[in-house]
């Protein structure tokens, strides 16, 4: 056993984080329920699950799923690669593979950038957006944590050519209005309070190093044009439904730069896939919530985005809101996934007891959903985490004895 408390803590953290990261890969495109009209339920059986469960509008659907709407309903699907909605027959079971024709694989983003973890100290104006992100706009909204008792913030944006803009504001957000920002270059945002706190002090719990690699990069015209064209296919009209809003947010949140252009952006080859259009995705979902659409599905997806850029407390808050806003069986899947994500967060920041609590709740959820495979995988993870918790406790005891 290692005697150095700091080294051991970092080792446990690395093990926990390794559980939640995935390499850049291809994932299947998904469909969504665009609308449900009439009285009755729409039930879905997920591939490799045994139970049928009721679902809400905007629920994501996969090629192997089956759907059964009650007679009297009018149910429309938003299929991948198709602009016009697809009407689902009622009173019969339909396979999603036959309802949506143009299924294909899409590239998903890679692992979370571990060094971005932070957003836990309320006395620090930690960065919210942009934070380790790609941007479509050269005049982005800059946003940070509002600190209680602060009457003024100093804002600086720097880049390869030095200081680009410096200003002061009483608000916790401001639109960039400095020298023109160039596409493909990395820029840094620093916020300081009039009480002496800085965004550069951002740090995650139980870690010694500060949050880093928080730069933002504006897309070049060639990449931005492709993004906008794809966004127009996903939502050809203004965002007038939860389904199209969530689909577009999912596209932005999963976007990765083509590998052929990485050299032009001068991003490290081993981390370029962790940069996404998260700011755009977050703005879409927060707009839905402001419109009163405060559903578990939306809160959970927003929690995913905040966790993606390392904001621990904002991710936790949205996952807890997802859990608290559950109204019925239609929300059981989101309840389960929110519990699972909270387990991931607590495992990554070295709170094994809390991680075990939420993983155990998620396992119950998977059993209820008829997904014994994931329940079994999660049980094995729980057993490994129990061993990690014991090791961490032993390390703390060793440190105390010294």
- What CATH number corresponds to the domain at position 128? 2.60.40
How far is 20 from 42, CA to CA, in rounded Å? Answer: 32
How far is 120 from 295, CA to CA, in rounded Å? Answer: 25
How far is 91 from 173, CA to CA, in rounded Å? Answer: 51
Rg of the chain over all Cα atoms, to the nearest angstrom: 22
Classify residue 98: in a domain, yes or no.
Answer: yes
**What is the span of the domain harbouring residue 308?**
5-25+223-401
Strand 42-45 to 53-54 pairing: antiparallel
Q: Are residues 306 and 234 in the same domain?
A: yes
Classify residue 112: in a domain, yes or no.
Answer: no
Q: Are residues 208 and 82 in the same domain?
A: no
| Residues 310 and 271 sit within 8 Å (Cβ to Cβ) | no
Q: Are residues 48 and 79 in the same domain?
A: yes
Q: Are residues 127 and 174 in the same domain?
A: yes
Q: Are residues 280 and 356 in the same domain?
A: yes
User: Which pair of structure tokens corresponds to residue 355?
Assistant: 């991680």
Helix (H) or strand (E) run with residue 20 in it: helix 5-20
Q: Are residues 322 and 395 in the same domain?
A: yes
Question: The whole model's pTM is what?
Answer: 0.89
Classify residue 354: in a domain, yes or no.
Answer: yes
**Owner of token pair 């909270």:** 342
Q: Are residues 265 and 355 in the same domain?
A: yes
Q: Are residues 290 and 236 in the same domain?
A: yes
Phi, psi of 159 (to 5 degrees): -150, -165
**CA dihedral over 341, 231, 223, 104, signed as positive or negative:** positive
Classify residue 161: in a domain, yes or no.
Answer: yes
Which residue, of 107, 129, 145, is where some domain finishes?
107
Q: In terms of residues, how long is the chain?
A: 402
Q: Are residues 357 and 247 in the same domain?
A: yes
Q: Are residues 293 and 392 in the same domain?
A: yes
How far is 280 from 283, CA to CA, in rounded Å? Answer: 5
pLDDT (tens digit, 0 to 9) for every residue of the chain, 402 residues total? 223 333 333 333 333 333 344 444 456 678 999 999 999 999 999 998 989 999 999 999 999 999 999 999 999 999 987 878 999 999 999 999 999 988 877 666 766 788 899 999 999 999 999 999 999 999 999 999 999 999 999 999 999 999 999 999 999 999 999 999 999 999 999 999 999 999 999 998 766 789 988 999 999 999 999 999 989 888 766 666 889 899 999 999 999 998 888 889 988 777 888 999 999 999 999 999 999 999 999 999 999 999 999 999 999 999 999 999 999 999 999 999 999 999 999 998 888 899 999 999 999 999 999 999 999 999 999 999 888 777 766 666 666 666
Q: Are residues 189 and 73 in the same domain?
A: no
How far is 146 from 193, CA to CA, in rounded Å? Answer: 10
Task: Indicate the number of domains in the chain.
Answer: 3
How far is 368 from 332, CA to CA, in rounded Å? Answer: 9
Classify residue 317: in a domain, yes or no.
Answer: yes
Q: Are residues 40 and 125 in the same domain?
A: no
Classify residue 366: in a domain, yes or no.
Answer: yes
Helix (H) or strand (E) run with residue 192 in it: strand 186-193
Instruction: Using alpha carbons, list the distances in angstroms from residue 186 to 162, 394, 396.
Output: 11, 42, 40
**Owner of token pair 């740090």:** 203
Phi, psi of 21 (to 5 degrees): -95, 145
């Amino acid at each position: 056993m290692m005697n150095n408390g700091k080294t051991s803590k970092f080792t446990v953290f690395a093990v926990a984080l390794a559980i939640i990261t995935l390499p850049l890969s291809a994932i299947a495109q998904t469909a969504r329920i665009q609308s449900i009209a009439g009285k009755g339920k729409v039930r879905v059986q997920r591939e490799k699950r045994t139970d049928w469960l009721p679902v809400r509008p905007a629920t994501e659907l996969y090629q192997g799923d089956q759907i059964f709407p009650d007679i009297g309903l009018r149910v429309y699907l938003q299929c991948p690669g198709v602009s016009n909605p697809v009407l689902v027959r009622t009173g019969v079971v339909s396979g999603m593979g036959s309802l949506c024709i143009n299924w294909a694989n899409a590239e998903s983003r890679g692992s979370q950038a571990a060094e971005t973890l932070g957003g836990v100290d309320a006395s620090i104006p930690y960065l919210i957006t942009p934070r380790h992100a790609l941007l479509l706009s050269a005049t982005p909204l800059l946003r940070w944590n509002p600190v209680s008792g602060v009457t003024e913030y100093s804002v600086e944006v720097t880049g390869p050519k030095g200081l680009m803009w410096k200003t002061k504001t009483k608000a916790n957000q401001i639109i960039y209005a400095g020298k023109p920002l160039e596409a493909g270059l990395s820029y840094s945002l620093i916020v300081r309070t009039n009480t002496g706190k800085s965004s550069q002090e951002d740090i995650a719990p139980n870690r010694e190093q500060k949050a880093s690699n928080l730069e933002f990069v504006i897309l070049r015209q060639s990449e931005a044009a492709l993004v906008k064209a794809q966004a127009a296919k996903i939502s050809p009209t203004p965002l007038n439904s939860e389904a199209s809003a969530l689909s577009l947010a999912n596209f932005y949140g999963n976007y990765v730069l083509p590998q052929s252009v990485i050299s032009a952006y001068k991003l490290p080859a081993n981390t370029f896939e962790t940069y996404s259009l998260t700011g755009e995705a977050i703005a879409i979902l927060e707009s839905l919530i402001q419109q009163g659409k405060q559903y578990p599905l939306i809160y959970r997806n927003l929690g995913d985005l905040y966790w993606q850029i390392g904001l621990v407390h904002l991710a936790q808050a949205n996952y807890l809101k997802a859990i608290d806003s559950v109204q019925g069986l239609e929300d059981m899947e989101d309840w389960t996934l929110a519990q699972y994500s909270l387990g991931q967060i607590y495992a990554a920041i070295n709170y094994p007891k809390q991680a075990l609590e939420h993983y155990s709740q998620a396992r119950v959820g998977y059993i209820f959903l008829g997904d014994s495979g994931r329940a079994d995988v999660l049980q094995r993870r729980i057993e490994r985490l129990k061993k990690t918790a014991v090791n961490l406790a032993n390390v703390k005891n060793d440190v105390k004895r010294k």
